[in-house]
Homo-oligomer: A and B are copies of this chain.
Amino acid sequence: MLDKPDAECCDYMHVHDDIVSKVRCEMPCDETLYDLADLFKVFGDTTRIRILYVLFESEMCVCDIAQLLSMTQSAISHQLKTLKQSKLVKARRDGKTVFYSLDDDHVRDIINRGIEHITE
């Protein structure tokens, strides 16, 4: 048996150490990658995508969105909270009504890139 100091998974005999160490250097820190996954997680739900798409056209209040998507006011409100925490939408209060709109153009960009990918 050969001595294999780092043999947790396979025996790693074939590993390209140069590439592995180069990649290891260029990887963003774990926190960034975690935040990134968290961001995409927000896009990864049909309800939230539909909400974002609804807001492509104009700002809208919670009740409007609920009606458009045929969903509960509560469900929409919960999801809007998630979207707001990720800075994908922002809120503006007008009396009793709260109007939501897209926070910036990153949202459009990201969604459009996604569309490109699935329709290619």
Are A41 and B36 CB-contacts (below 8 A) given A12-B67, A63-B12, A110-B117? no
Residue of B nearest to A19 (CB): B58
Q: What's the nearest-Cβ distance from chain B to residue A71, in Å?
A: 8
Contact at B32–A37, with CB atoms within 8 Å? Answer: no
The tally of residues in A whose CB lies under 8 Å from a CB in B reads 64
Contact at A73–B26, with CB atoms within 8 Å? Answer: no
B residues in contact with A41, CB < 8 Å: 40-41, 44-45
Contact at A26–B57, with CB atoms within 8 Å? Answer: yes
Q: What's the nearest-Cβ distance from chain B to residue A109, in Å?
A: 5
4 A-B pairs with the lowest CB-CB distances in the bound complex, closest first: A41-B44, A40-B43, A44-B44, A40-B44
**Chain A: residues with CB nearer than 8 A to chain B?**
6, 8-10, 12, 14-16, 19-20, 22-24, 26-28, 32-46, 48-50, 53-54, 56-58, 60-61, 63-64, 66-68, 70, 72-73, 87, 97, 104, 106, 109-111, 113-120
Task: List, sorted by A's number, 22 A–B pairs whose CB atoms are closer than 8 Å.
Answer: A6-B67, A8-B70, A9-B66, A9-B67, A14-B61, A20-B64, A23-B54, A23-B58, A26-B56, A26-B57, A27-B53, A27-B54, A37-B43, A37-B48, A39-B114, A40-B44, A40-B114, A41-B45, A106-B113, A106-B116, A106-B117, A110-B117
